[in-house]
Structures are given as C-alpha cells and as structure tokens.
A = this chain, B = another copy of it.
Amino acid sequence: MVNPISLFNASCTDCGLKKLCFPLGLDKGDILRLDALVKRKPALQKGEALFHVGQPFQAVYAVRAGGFKVSTVPASGEDKIIGFYLPGDILGVDALSTGTHVSTAVAIDTTTVCEIPFSALERLSLQIPSLNHQLLALMSKELTDERMHAELLSRKGAEERLALFILWLSERQSRRGFNALDFRLGLLHRDVALYLGLTPETVSRVLARFAEDDILSWRNKQLNISNLHKLHALAGVNESVQQCLRA
C-alpha cells in the first residue's frame, strides 16, 4: 500500500507548485537543502489563524492548498483586509524587519501550508546566492502586490475596482495552471468589500450589473468570466497595471 502520508509530506522536488514557490531558480541540490528546512503542518480549518498580530516572527509559510485572508487586526478579519494568499504564495515576510507579526492570517478554507523557519532560511541564503536573490524577489513580489492593492483602492468607481480585482484573481489562477475564466473563489463578498474599501451592498450591486451585462457570474463560490474583453475595458487596464497583473 502506498504510504498515505507521502502526499502530505511531498518534498519540494515533487511539489506541483515549485515553479511558483521558493525553489524557483534553484538547482536540484539546493532544493534538497531547502527541503530539509521545510516542515509540513497539519491542515487548518476555515477560520483558524496561522499567525496573529504581535506574535513573534519565527517562520514564513508557503500555501499548498486553500488560502488566507490577512488583516491588520487580531480579530478574525473584522477590520480592513490587506491581502489574500493563494496556493504557491508565501506569507509572513512582512514581519521580517520588526521581528513581530504585524498582521493576522486567517484560513478562508481548509488550508495546508509548509512552514520554513526563518533563521535557518536566512542562514542558508547566505550560502546559496540564488536563494538569497529569491528572498529579495519574494519581498519584491509582496511589494508589487501591495502596490496593486493601492492601485485598486485609488480607482474612484466601484466597478473599476471590482473589475480589476477579478482580473487580477483570474491572472493569478492562470499562473497556477488553473482555468482563468472559471474557478472556485472561497472569498465572501464581505471580504472582498473590506479589501477594496467598499461595502458588501455595493459589491453585490456591481456584481449584479456585471451578470446583467453578461460579463461574469459569481454564484456559490464559483466565478465564471464570460466576457474578458469587457472586463478589461471596465477595469481601465493600462500598461503599468498590465505589468503588475503579470508580475
């Protein structure tokens, strides 16, 4: 019989997400050294927190399945939401400079992560230049994401914000090898509203309008984009945003 734990404990080498995750750009030997640091953790249930504001920073986490919403307050996402993390994303690095987590990550679904103790990672990165570069690139990605968030929030209209947000999600889906036009989205309207600086009511109304115009439908956590072109137009995508989308 195949060991049932083998999948759970899949090494970085075998992981389907290695092209999105840390191993990107590392050679086989280095991946093994990285792999030795990684601790696979038992799954978190929806609503459980991976880390809290104020907690000491000890590790970064790679999402394997499920996802997180991250907010700046201890409560489970009642305040402003500053980001979403999906499979292949790495979270926790925002605590790097202070040594203390400044945000709280809450699972939006049943979620599994890989834990990578940071002190060991930092030590290893001094020996593997490309890993060090990876670390910087990771921070850079965080920066790009946060910038996209600001871009979203600076849009005046609710339609623009939502259209661009969904376009972004779609882009992220396709990067993970999933269908970019039809995918599951475990987020609540409320979460999206908190992320975009809107109210759930507005989100609902805009989505209704989108459905009306045959642009997309989002029912029962399933998002289906039927007219990508119109969505692009509504989002007001320009060159610089295009770059952020691709990043």
Contact = CB atoms under 8 A, between A and B. Distances in A.
Interface of A: 53, 72-73, 80, 82, 93-94, 96-98, 102, 122, 125-126, 129, 132-133, 135-137, 139-144, 146-147, 149-151, 153-154, 156, 197, 240, 243-244, 247
A33 B240 CA distance: 37
Contact of A154 (B96, B143, B153): B153
B243 A136 contact: no
29 contacts: A53-B240, A72-B151, A73-B240, A80-B151, A80-B154, A82-B150, A94-B147, A96-B136, A96-B139, A96-B140, A97-B137, A97-B141, A98-B140, A102-B240, A102-B244, A122-B133, A125-B132, A126-B129, A132-B132, A136-B136, A136-B139, A139-B139, A139-B142, A143-B146, A146-B149, A149-B150, A153-B154, A153-B197, A156-B197
Contacts of A140: 93-94, 96-98, 139
Nearest to A149: B150
Q: Which 3 A-B pairs have the closest CB atoms?
A: A97-B140, A153-B153, A139-B139
